[in-house]
Amino acid sequence: MRKDEMFDTPKKKVALDVTNLDNFVYDMDHCIKCKGCYWVEHTYMPGVEFSVRCPSNLWNDFDSYGAFGKMRIGLAVNEGKLKWTDKLLEIIYADPLCGACDVGCKRNLDLEIGLSLEALRVKAVKDGAGPMPAHKKIAKNIDAKHNQFGSPHENRKKWITKDVKVAEKADIVYFVGCSASYVNPEIAGATAKVLNASGRKFMLLPDEWCCGNTLYSVGMVDEARELAKRNIEAVRATGAKTLVTSCAEGYRMWKVDYPKLLNISTSELGFNVVHLIEIADEAMKKGDLKLTKPVDVRFTYHDSCGVSRLCDPWTPWSGERGWMGTVSPALKRRRGTTGLYVQSRNILNAIPGAKFVEMPRKRENAFCCGAGRGTKEAFPDLASFSAKHRLDEVKSVSAEVLVSACPWCKSNFSQAVKENGDNVQVMDIAEIISAAVEL
Ligand code: SF4
Ligand code: SF4
């Protein structure tokens, strides 16, 4: 190519906007099928037993279930060469959108694999094919009862026990989320106790509604956007400076996907979004939270996707793509580097009496539990398979307790432990901190 031709290459307008699959044609088209989205880089791996990063493709060996397969499917769908069928819908929805492929791919290439997968689901919904029936039921529940499960809305605060102090007004608002409100109230209780023990006054939203994580994740962006607007306004109205979650999925939704849906930066929300892990770590460093009670167990930690590789803050970007795929203005890629890896380990290493052991796949290379983003509801077999595979890794390091930072992980792992008859206890990080605090 001559130099003048090089600079004459027509430029294409693009944006990081998942509502138009066309934005990701370059990304989907430039997948080189290297399978960096399937394997954990060998430099991180002590062996082959736990060297896969993609639950979807491990569950079903056909290439179409891997990110590299879905990139080709996305291209064909975008060009109208592939029509939606039940099988095609299964392939794109039997996937926890865990982001492992995205960070794996970005070690070598600047391709937006995770966003392409999200945009493909938005297209499925727009075309009237998606989401799956189980997701439609969740959407109905949220519409009618403001929670995923269709439980009575008035029961949302039933988790509050007498020993928990909730302020009328505070700088921190605790967004409990559907799972901890209805299914895992012990996580909400432990979170409140840790906040109380840290001396961090917190309030609750006067009328908390579902965060809409499943709606966004399955491609129902219009419905998710309405919830985002309503919920952000509700927090702004309280005057709180910080919103804390105990749910990794909710954390990702508030911090990344609300701004994405509203085309604003995370910093423009008007309040900080943090996970309990960040508050506890900071409180420990300041000497406000003391872990003094021995917890005599050998435990390991599962980096829930929403507090690890999926939580880099969001900044809107639009611009042009030109010669050799270069983009302008410069685009700072989200590579999963700002996950709460260090904070969680600071806490876990400080639990007195306990022995913390790492699993081979950790931090941004952790293997997803398989439950999130609408997967367990539509594909329980995949969720169970993923959790059992991860439990094999837990057992490989002889851990008695598996700690995670999300109620969805806890529920999924607990069910898999039961089905397997494993001798592993599953706990949330809020519970293990709470167990180590003298209350
Ligand atoms: S790592 Fe990226 S380029 Fe390689 S096969 Fe996967 S999606 Fe394609
Ligand atoms: S998001 Fe996770 S499950 Fe889905 S293709 Fe990527 S690595 Fe596989």
Number of neighbouring beta carbons within 10 Å of residue 315: 16
Nearest CA residue ID for atom 8, ligand 1: 31
Ligand that comes closest to the CA of residue 31: 1
With 60 as the cut, is the pLDDT of residue 3 above it? no
Element holding 186 (H helix, E strand): helix 185-197
Domain chopping of the chain, boundaries: 134-285
When the pLDDT of each residue in the chain is averaged and rounded to a whole number, the result is 96
pLDDT of residue 414: 98
Residues 22-72: tens digit of each pLDDT:
999 999 999 999 999 999 988 877 788 999 999 999 999 999 999 999 999
With 60 as the cut, is the pLDDT of residue 2 above it? no
Proportion of the chain above pLDDT 70, given as a percent: 98
Ligand that comes closest to the CA of residue 113: 1
The pTM (predicted TM-score) of the whole model is: 0.96
Residue corresponding to tokens 């592939």 = 82
Give the mutation target among 105, 106, 115 for probing the ligand 1 site: most ligand atoms within 8 A of CB: 105
* Cα 170 from Cα 384, distance rounded (Å): 40
* Out of 44-58, 130-144, 366-380, 394-408, least confident range: 44-58
With contact defined as beta carbons under 8 Å apart, do 53 and 365 qualify? Answer: yes
CB of 56 closer than 6 angstroms to any ligand 2 atom: yes
Taking the mean position of all CA atoms in its chain, how far away is CA 201?
A: 27
Which has the closest alpha carbon to 53: 312, 372, 62, 44? Answer: 44
CA of 101 relative to ligand 2 center, distance in Å: 5
CA of 397 relative to ligand 1 center, distance in Å: 30
Phi-psi region of 212 (alpha: psi -120 to 50; beta: other; left: phi over 0): left
- Exposure string of 157-185, with b = 16+ CB inside 10 Å and e = fewer, is eebbeeebeeeeebbbbbbbbbbbbbbbb
CATH 3.40.50.11810 fits 134-285, yes or no: yes
With contact defined as beta carbons under 8 Å apart, do 215 and 249 qualify? Answer: no
CB of 92 closer than 6 angstroms to any ligand 1 atom: no
